[in-house]
Amino acid sequence: MRPEHEAPGAGPFLPWGHPLEKRLPGRPEGTDVMPVAIITGASKGLGRALGAALAGRGWDLVLDARTAAALDASGRDLAGRGVRVEAVAGDVTQAGHRADLVAAAHKLGGLDLLVNNASALGAEPLVRLEELTLDGLRQALETNVVAALGLIQEALPLLRASGAGTVVDVSSDAAVEAYETWGGYGASKAALDHLSAVLAAEEPGIRVWAVDPGDMRTDLYEAAVPDDDASGRPAPETVVPAFLRLLDERPASGRYSAPSLLDGPASLDGPSSLDVR
């Protein structure tokens, strides 16, 4: 990964939510606007937990999920914390829905953070590769890679204009480890990791982080391995501080793991300063 670069004209970054961070780089003088994030898969699990943490810091949010009722409930909860929330239900694999998400961010004043969190397993429960249908593999790739890139493409003009634009692609340890039955899902996340690395090389003015959140107790995991007792796995809220650390310290683009961020060195010099696998 190339060395860290700042966007042209951007000065030192304050942590988002810092009381002095009232006008964002790239926004007109005299405007008081808080940063704006798009989070996909935001009705539950990690997406909702991250949305709650950002709302607590004053971020305005565009939330996505396929299930309208669950998304609306999440949106109402976060809006009750004093921030503006646009809850846009739909399927990220649809180009029109991706355009609606970016339009909603533009309505809120711009876009500073895109979190590609929505994921598909390809089979529920997971199966060995000899049993994985090609349609299932296509579904995982379409949601986890193609839709993620489509949303990035749609959002890039706003992210570039931000002056502090950031993309977070939620990865998995299955992208780098060979776990039985996780082949299709892991392949899609490995592709997402490489897409993130190339995007970082092509767009040095924005941060691009692929983040492995580690083990979590989520509906996705329970759908993947329903016979496994997930009760001892950490709740998604416990890994959110790792994502917030990235936003606060803004290290170089690269691949990071939440456990390493939570237990790692006092300062981040980029992915090489951590065990990022």
Q: Give exposure, 45-75, as e/b (b: 16+ Cβ within 10 Å).
A: bbbbbbbbbbbebbbbbbbbbbeeebbeebb
Q: How far apart are CA 137 and CA 152, in angstroms?
A: 22
Question: What is the token pair recorded at 50?
Answer: 């991250």
Own/partner pairs, 20-24, CB within 8 angstroms, 24+ separation: 24/110, 24/112, 24/162, 24/163, 24/164
Give me the catalytic one of 179, 185, 221, 256: 185
Q: Is 185 a catalytic residue?
A: yes
On the CB side of 120, how many CA atoms lie within 13 Å of its CA? 21
Q: Is 83 helix (H, G, I), strand (E, B) or coil?
A: coil
- Which residues are designated catalytic? 185
